[in-house]
């Protein structure tokens, strides 16, 4: 291929790329695509999202090591059944148990997990449970379950659930079990820096629902004050001297300090509160 022809081909492809980008932007800005949950995605859109999701999970989940002995541990599976009943049934249902009514209005509808072991490896199941999936309604559980509980859910879903009959499921999940909540949540990879862990903790506790936080992507909310330049402030909520220790106290139980504050107690662990405070004082929250 001669040089003039190659340059012409590059020019044509560049023009087509620009026109495609402009066409996509025009389509988005037109509002033509119906985002309501009362109508499903167009089939090509649904298929594209499914393929993207599965490839993303495979890419990351294959690297997640799940001990085979733990998967077959009956006691761990029973802990997983408790967590499944407490946190998963509402959206996914179970043998003979429908999802909660709100979950039936989600789009796409959360899939049943009784056959998930056929399409997802234990490592992939563990990864999805830990990290969740964007824009699907599937939350990340790493700040809500302990490491043992994440493994237990994986063991139950991959090994026990597919073999349970309706009576077997009712018997197992109807047993008296302790509440499935962590003493210390799994949290993020401790090998990450303070900044990364603090940012993740702020996101996973939904802080951006009310606050604009530098470096943390979220809605443009004005419910609470912006946390930009937080380290420069003299006081926390107009009451406490702005120190890391006081900020941890405020994050963990704000209403114990100010009973009239609208900021709720989010059940933030001691470690997560410390990482969040460090982020705001030493990370993107300082000038």
Q: What is the pLDDT of residue 6?
A: 78
Per-residue model confidence as pLDDT tens digits over 181-239: 777 788 766 667 878 889 999 999 999 999 999 888 888 877 888 999 999 999 998 88
Q: What is the pLDDT of residue 186?
A: 82
Q: What is the pLDDT of residue 178?
A: 63
For residues 109 and 213, what is the distance between their CA atoms, to the nearest angstrom?
32
SS (H, E, C) 150-199: HHHHHHHHHHHHHHCCHHHHHHHHHCCCCCCCCCCCCCCCCCCCHHHHHH
pTM: 0.84
Per-residue model confidence as pLDDT tens digits over 167-181: 999 988 887 556 687
Arithmetic mean of pLDDT over the chain: 88
Residue 250 has pLDDT above 80, yes or no: yes
Residue 98 has pLDDT above 70, yes or no: yes
Per-residue model confidence as pLDDT tens digits over 123-133: 999 999 999 99
Q: In 3D, which of 123, 137, 134 has the Cα closest to residue 58?
A: 123
For residues 269 and 273, what is the distance between their CA atoms, to the nearest angstrom?
6
Per-residue model confidence as pLDDT tens digits over 53-83: 999 999 998 878 888 899 999 999 999 999 9
Residue 115 has pLDDT above 50, yes or no: yes
- Helix, strand, coil % in the chain, rounded to nearest 5: 55, 5, 40
Q: Phi and psi (nearest 5°) for 240?
A: -110, 145
Average pLDDT over residues 126-149: 92
Q: Which long-range contacts (CB under 8 A, 24 or more apart) does 254-262 make?
A: 261/237, 262/223, 262/224
Q: Between the CA atoms of 101, 107, 113 and 119, what dihedral angle is there, to the nearest 10 degrees? A: 170
Structure tokens at 116: 């998930």
Banded model confidence at residue 286, pLDDT cuts 50, 70, 90: very low
Q: Which domains does the chain have, with CATH numbers?
A: 43-174 (1.10.760.10), 194-282 (2.60.40.420)
Q: Kindly state the percentage of the chain with pLDDT values over 70.
A: 94
Residue predicted with more confidence, 283 or 141: 141
Structure tokens at 279: 């982020």
Banded model confidence at residue 284, pLDDT cuts 50, 70, 90: very low
For residues 259 and 264, what is the distance between their CA atoms, to the nearest angstrom?
10
3-state secondary structure of 77: helix
For residues 113 and 35, what is the distance between their CA atoms, to the nearest angstrom?
26
Residue 151 has pLDDT above 90, yes or no: yes
Residue 241 has pLDDT above 70, yes or no: yes
R_g (Cα) of the chain, nearest Å: 23
């Amino acid at each position: 291929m001669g040089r003039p022809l190659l340059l012409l081909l590059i020019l044509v492809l560049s023009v087509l790329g620009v026109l495609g980008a402009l066409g996509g932007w025009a389509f988005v800005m037109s509002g033509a695509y119906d985002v309501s949950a009362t109508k499903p995605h167009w089939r090509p859109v649904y298929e594209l999202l499914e393929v993207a999701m599965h490839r993303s999970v495979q890419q990351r989940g294959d690297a997640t090591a799940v001990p085979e002995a733990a998967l077959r541990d009956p006691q761990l599976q029973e802990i997983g059944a408790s967590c499944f009943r407490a946190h998963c049934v509402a959206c996914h249902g179970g043998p003979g148990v429908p999802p909660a009514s709100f979950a039936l209005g989600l789009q796409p509808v959360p899939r049943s997990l009784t056959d998930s072991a056929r399409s997802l490896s234990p490592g992939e199941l563990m990864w999805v449970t830990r990290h969740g999936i964007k824009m699907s309604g599937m939350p990340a559980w790493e700040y809500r379950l302990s490491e043992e509980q994440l493994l237990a859910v994986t063991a139950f879903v991959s090994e026990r659930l597919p073999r349970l009959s309706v009576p077997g499921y009712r018997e197992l999940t109807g047993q008296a079990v302790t509440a499935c909540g962590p003493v210390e949540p799994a949290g993020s990879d401790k090998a990450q820096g303070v900044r990364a862990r603090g940012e993740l903790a702020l996101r996973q506790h939904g802080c951006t629902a009310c606050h604009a936080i530098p470096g943390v992507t979220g809605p443009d909310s004005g419910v609470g004050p912006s946390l930009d330049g937080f380290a420069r402030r003299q006081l926390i909520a107009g009451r406490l001297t702005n120190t890391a220790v006081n900020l941890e106290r405020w994050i963990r139980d704000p209403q114990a300090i100010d009973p009239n504050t609208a900021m709720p107690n989010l059940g933030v662990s001691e470690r997560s509160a410390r990482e969040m405070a460090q982020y705001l004082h030493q990370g993107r929250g300082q000038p």
